[in-house]
Chain A
Amino acid sequence: MNKTVSVIITLGLIFAVGIIFAGDSKTKNTGQAVQNSEIKSGIQYITIDARGGYSPQISTAKAGIPTKLIIKTNGTYDCSASLVIRSVGFQKILPQTGETEIDIGTKNVGEKLQGVCGMGMYSFQINFS
């Protein structure tokens, strides 16, 4: 194979890898509109689905009220079942199917909460405002 051809193909492929990884950040932004929090008797519940990643990847919630996270698993066997939320010291392998409630306390305006799966390839973020 010609060296020049190879270099061109290589650059193209690196570009493709870039799209695969970076392309995700766009869907993240459009995903912001998802309404996944509700307030019941003074407690804010934020629901996140965990299977083959977390959805929504970015969500917004209200600051200043006690908040609980509900992680829903449904036949989840992949990495997203092993959840780590470092800021609240949560580390657990979630049941394959079910809901896990995590108390994350009361957050201030501008705070962020990040959850990541054990191997680190899936993550979600909640912005408090």
Chain B
Amino acid sequence: MLIMMKTYTFHVSGTHCAACKILIEDILGEQNFIKRSKVDLKRETVEIETDSEKNAEKLASILTSKIKPNGYTLSVDKIVETKKDDGVIWKAIPIGLVFLVLFFILQKSGILNLGIGGKTTPATSFIIGLIASVSSCLAIVGGLVLSLSAKISQDKISDTKTFLLFHLGRLVSFAILGGILGLIGNAIGISFLFSAILGLVASIVMLLLGLNLLGIFAKNKIALPSGIFNFFRKIEHETFTPLIIGFATFFLPCGFTQSMQVATISSGSFMSGFLIMFAFALGTLPMLAFLSFGSASFAHGKHAPLFFKSAGVVVIGLGIFAFLAGLAGLGIINPLFSI
């Protein structure tokens, strides 16, 4: 029996990232009447080869129902996008800047500089964690969490599970690393250089993701190098990646984390180090959880475009701050500011 293969080209909307191409092709490829599918991100089209007898409109609606949960739509005719976007960015810039101004005022106010004397106990380290989570460490750790979370939510990846794994990975690895530090009793590789370089890498990731959230890269769809896209794609499927990122935050340059590491070293036993570091990570949890789950709920709400762009502005601001501070910390440039 001869099977007639037909080729159709549909317009696709909602493709804002290179990973979308892979995702759409995957989903369409799973349908048994589709032999081949190819997404052209530049032209925003999908070419499919099918043995189905249905007409183009029918196919478009069937396939749309498959990829709709991921936020894409297929259509025979090109949907002319309403140019609301231009308005959104003009709202997003001031909103983002307001958050940046509030953040820097908070840092400068000195409210966060309350000294906590005495011996470091799990209770004090919990309080220090709470302070650290809104301190200048937020610029780098929080900025990274916000940018990754917003990006993950934007890419329609199963975000709740990813975020839970990230926070779990963070709590567990802080506790275990704290325990190890307490047990060994001296610094294992808390290297300034290493954490400073890690900080620079994190700030570059923030800048790239920030620009991406703003949609500056979206026009030509090349956005980030494919390596980073594969990385995000892995986040979707692998439970491992968010755990690792949670683990890596232990080494990000943050004065509070480093001080806690020293306190842990002098704590004397695995259990005390474990509890101090766990309590510290627990203290930072509310703010970081708010950032990640907050972005997820905004990302699924009706103000999503505004949220992504505002988050982009905030992340870029924090990224620039963290990058310049990182360079100053390495002695490459003179400290430009002291907050």
Q: Interface on A for B, CB 8 Å cutoff?
A: 1, 3, 6-7, 9-10, 13-14, 16-17, 20-21, 24, 28, 51-53, 57, 74-82, 84, 86, 91, 93, 95-97, 114, 116-123
Contacts and interface: CB of A to CB of B under 8 A. Distances in A.
Interface string B320-337: 011011111111001111
A30 to B, nearest CB: 14
Interface centre among A52, A75, A95, A119 (most CB of B within 10 A): A119
A16 B339 contact: no
12 contacts: A1-B94, A10-B94, A51-B115, A74-B117, A78-B135, A96-B263, A116-B335, A118-B329, A119-B137, A119-B254, A121-B325, A121-B339
A95 B258 CA distance: 11
A81 B255 contact: yes
B128 A119 contact: no
Contact of B87 (A1, A81, A97): A1
B202 to A, nearest CB: 11
Contact of A81 (B104, B258, B330, B335): B258
B244 interface: no
Contacts of B253: 118-119
Nearest to A74: B115
Contacts of B50: none
Contact of B108 (A20, A75, A116): A20
Nearest to A1: B91
Contacts of B329: 84, 116-120
Interface in B242-298: 253-256, 258-263
Interface centre among A10, A74, A82, A123 (most CB of B within 10 A): A82
B339 A24 contact: yes
Contacts of A24: 108, 337-339
A20 B97 CA distance: 13
B147 interface: no
Contacts of A97: 117
B262 A95 contact: yes
B100 interface: yes
A74 B140 CA distance: 25
A84 B331 CA distance: 9
A17 B255 contact: no
A14 B97 contact: yes
Contact of A96 (B94, B120, B324, B335): B120
A77 B132 contact: yes
B201 interface: no
Contacts of A53: 113, 338-339
Interface centre among B114, B327, B331 (most CB of A within 10 A): B331
A122 to B, nearest CB: 6
Contacts of B263: 96
B222 interface: no
A11 to B, nearest CB: 10
A121 B17 CA distance: 34
A52 B331 CA distance: 20
